[in-house]
């Protein structure tokens, strides 16, 4: 695919291949790993605007960043426009020039709360949220799905309304809410959203290779792609797009463990990196046995020792 910068408010990205916000995964060290591989923009994990209002320590922990990470976008969720705007204007979000509004999360707890993909069924409220957040001075973007179900496809009209409310960029996940993260990507609906607006549109869904990205852009006319699950299995997938050299996998993992350890405590580092290395060994000979041993590692040092064993074979 053709790499090109994307302008989002005052931010100009290096390229148009973005890392998706992934709950439970896109913490600072993981984002930095993907950025070193060439991701043009990375997003934090989904952050609760209400959690920020009430000073949740867990919420604040999701927002760790440093000046080295630039540009970076924060993704927030909620359904109350005043609280969403207050979040955008908060000190905690001051390092982030871009605020992405989650209007696609399909998880029942979020949906039943009127947040995430539930906003697809309440476009007037979605507009109000975007217009209020835009008053914060941040560039506001919106990530949404093409509908809640196949009989309620709303991509074009929803895109128009988000643009009119003040969104600077849209990311369209080409699946409906009821399909979660599986099933065919609806290219037609992403294309309809792209054709309905003047602002940049990023296509999301089913990108596991450069060939997938080429097909997605060809069939939708989108301005760029967003990579999600593929980055969990291979954070260096962005190298395939940018031409940057890949690190040897063992070296990459050791660096990720070290950087995660610098930001988080030993317990978090152990639990998180056990999950990550389990992704990295998928498809390897003896993967099931390696995973069993991975999840028995009690601390980062034992995990490092096992990584050395796995990747020295």
Which parts are annotated binding residues for FMN? Answer: 75, 143, 173, 204-206, 228-229
Which parts are annotated binding residues? Answer: 75, 143, 173, 204-206, 228-229
Distance, CA of 33 to CA of 87 (rounded, Å): 27
Centroid of chain to Cα 197: 22
Centroid of chain to Cα 60: 17
Q: How many C-beta atoms lie closer than 10 Å to residue 82's C-beta?
A: 13
Distance, CA of 222 to CA of 241 (rounded, Å): 16
Q: What are phi and psi of 121, to 5 degrees?
A: -95, 0
- Catalytic (active site) residue 239: no
Catalytic residue among 105, 133, 239, 297: 105
Angle between helix axes 266-280 and 300-310 (nearest 10 degrees) is: 20
3-state secondary structure (DSSP) of residue 246: coil
The pLDDT of residue 186 is: 96
- The answer to whether 111 and 77 are in contact (CB under 8 A) is no
Distance, CA of 19 to CA of 227 (rounded, Å): 5
In order along its 313 residues, the chain shows pLDDT tens digits of 999 999 999 999 999 999 999 999 999 999 999 999 999 999 999 999 999 988 888 888 899 999 998 889 999 999 999 999 999 999 999 999 999 999 999 999 999 999 999 999 999 999 999 999 999 999 999 999 999 888 889 999 999 999 999 999 999 999 999 887 778 899 999 999 999 999 999 999 999 999 999 999 999 999 999 999 999 999 999 999 999 999 999 999 999 999 999 999 999 999 999 999 999 999 999 999 999 999 999 999 999 999 999 998 6
């Amino acid at each position: 695919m053709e790499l090109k910068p994307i302008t989002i408010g005052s931010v100009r990205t290096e390229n148009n291949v973005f890392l998706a916000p992934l709950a439970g995964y896109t913490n600072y060290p993981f984002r930095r790993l993907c950025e070193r591989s060439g991701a043009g923009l990375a997003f934090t994990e989904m952050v609760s605007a209400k959690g920020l209002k009430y000073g949740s320590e867990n919420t604040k922990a999701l927002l760790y960043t440093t000046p080295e990470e630039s540009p970076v976008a924060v993704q927030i969720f909620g359904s109350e426009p005043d609280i969403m705007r207050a979040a955008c204007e908060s000190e905690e979000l001051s390092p982030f020039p871009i605020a992405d509004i989650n209007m696609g999360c399909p998880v029942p707890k979020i949906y039943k709360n009127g947040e995430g993909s539930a906003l697809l069924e309440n476009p007037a409220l979605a507009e109000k949220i975007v217009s209020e957040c835009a008053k914060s001075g941040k560039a506001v973007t919106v990530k949404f799905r093409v509908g809640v179900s196949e009989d309620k496809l709303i991509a074009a009209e929803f895109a128009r309304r988000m643009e009119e409310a003040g969104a600077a960029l849209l990311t369209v996940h080409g699946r409906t809410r009821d399909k979660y993260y599986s099933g065919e990507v609806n290219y037609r609906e992403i294309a309809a959203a792209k054709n309905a607006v003047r602002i940049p549109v990023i296509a999301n869904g089913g990108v596991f290779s450069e060939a997938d990205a080429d097909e997605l852009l060809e069939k939708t006319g989108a301005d760029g792609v967003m990579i999600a699950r593929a980055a969990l299995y291979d954070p260096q997938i962005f190298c395939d797009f940018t031409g940057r050299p890949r690190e040897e996998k063992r070296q990459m993992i050791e660096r990720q463990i070290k950087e995660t350890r610098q930001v988080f405590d030993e317990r978090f580092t152990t639990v998180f990196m056990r999950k990550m290395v389990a992704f990295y060994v998928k498809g390897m000979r003896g993967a099931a046995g390696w995973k069993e041993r991975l999840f028995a590692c009690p601390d980062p040092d034992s995990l490092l020792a096992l990584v050395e064993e796995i990747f020295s074979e």
